[in-house]
Copies of this chain bind each other. A is one copy, B any other.
Amino acid sequence: MSSTFPQRPASTLAALPTPCLLLDRDILTANLTRMAGQVAARGVRFRPHLKTAKCAEIARLAAPLPGGAITVSTLREAEYFAHHGWSDIFYAVGLGPGKLARAAALLRDGAQLVTMVDHPAAAMAVSDYATREKVRFHTVIEIDCGDRRGGVLPDSEELLAIAKLLGPNFAGVATHGGHSYDQPGERGRNAVAKVEAKAVRTASLRLQRAGFPHAIVSLGSSPTAVADADLTGVTEIRAGVYMFWDLYQAGIGVSRIEDIALTVLAEVIGRPASRPNEFLIDAGAFALSKDVSTSSLPEKKNAGYGWLCDLDGLYMPGLKVDRVWQEHGRVVSSKPLPDDRFQIGSRVRVLPNHACPTAAAHDRYFVLSNGDVVAEWPRVNGW
């Protein structure tokens, strides 16, 4: 037992409260630049999805104003980004009748809010509300390209029925090839990307032929955004997790571990004497989330609740958060400890299994550049 505590590096990381969310701006910027370039090379507009980042500072980098088009997952995000200057906003979750008034308020305030439905009853609710309240929605029809979450099939009768019900509120079609996440290889992702593009193209052509012209033919997911598929007829690509990446995306080979911009800073708070290859950190189920997406991957890619990196962001193989309680995370080491890096009071960074829910537990990012904390950026959580 030593009477001194590990030296903090000459970085303000030492002054941060733990647990907290770190965002490496240098890695973020590289991720944004790379994706924007890849999408631009495909010849369509990019509409970054802010569901992961939920932060105006990040949106300013991903979809610069004026003119930046964005995607959001909640109306609270839509309201927040509209307040921060974005106008072209796609709320990419089926619009329930209970949200019509909030969506209409955004439209009245001047936002070009795009909404989405996939059911005749939802379309009728849009139409009825629009007529009654003298507002015009820009509503796309959600297409199911095989992800089997929401959406109508591109060759379904409902497609045309919904467009008819939407009337002047009809604005196009959109799909999300979320099953690209289940593809561990490039070939599988390219196949999903082709199915995704074909689904909206088919739906769009049917609608055009039936007399329903429209401006929006939207698709996307981070894995398919960079895949190889013919985008004829597609007007825009959406993607979100690419901003930060995570261990799941690294596990399926869409990114590398060193591309992960998001980590959780934690302190070592326990070193059980009877379990020498373990230590406890102050980041548990709440700070990391209980998402274990990588558990569906081969065991060597199963990151538990996160793998560790050091304070410089360097991945440290063999260290995994294998169990969490509300405010405790248990790290197991594949090699013998003790290790001077993991004494009581030492700090570590945890790479997220899945960036979206990990980020959602935190109200702000502590932003790093060249290893220094250079800013705090707030997030807009909730609904």
Binding site for B on A (CB under 8 A): 1-3, 5, 17-20, 51, 73-75, 93-99, 102, 118-122, 124-125, 144, 148-153, 156, 158, 178, 267-275, 280, 282, 285-287, 289-292, 325-328, 330, 343-345, 347, 356-357, 360-363, 381-383
Contacts and interface: CB of A to CB of B under 8 A. Distances in A.
Contacts of A144: 272
A270 B119 contact: yes
Nearest to A8: B98
A325 B149 contact: yes
Given A124-B3, A273-B152, A344 B383 contact: no
A84 B151 CA distance: 48
A122 B285 contact: no
A150 B268 CA distance: 12
B343 A118 contact: no
A200 B150 CA distance: 53
Contacts of A345: 96-98, 121-122, 125
A interface, by DSSP: helix, strand, loop or mixed?
loop
A55 to B, nearest CB: 15
Contact of A270 (B118, B158, B383): B118
B291 A285 contact: yes
A93 to B, nearest CB: 5
Nearest to A280: B150
30 contacts: A1-B120, A1-B121, A17-B102, A18-B96, A18-B99, A73-B326, A74-B327, A93-B269, A93-B282, A93-B328, A94-B280, A94-B282, A94-B328, A96-B344, A96-B345, A98-B345, A118-B270, A119-B271, A119-B344, A121-B344, A122-B345, A125-B344, A149-B280, A149-B328, A150-B272, A151-B272, A290-B292, A360-B361, A361-B381, A363-B381
Nearest to A360: B286
A51 B96 contact: no
A383 B20 contact: yes
A51 B370 CA distance: 36
Q: Most chain-B CB neighbours within 10 Å: which of A121, A150, A153?
A: A121
Contact of A289 (B97, B124, B280, B290): B290
A23 to B, nearest CB: 16
Contacts of A327: 51, 73-74, 93
Given A280-B149, A326-B51, A269 B5 contact: no
A344 B122 contact: yes
Nearest to A267: B96
A125 B151 CA distance: 57
A269 B156 contact: no
A275 B153 CA distance: 12
B96 A17 contact: no
Nearest to A157: B273
A127 to B, nearest CB: 10
A75 to B, nearest CB: 8
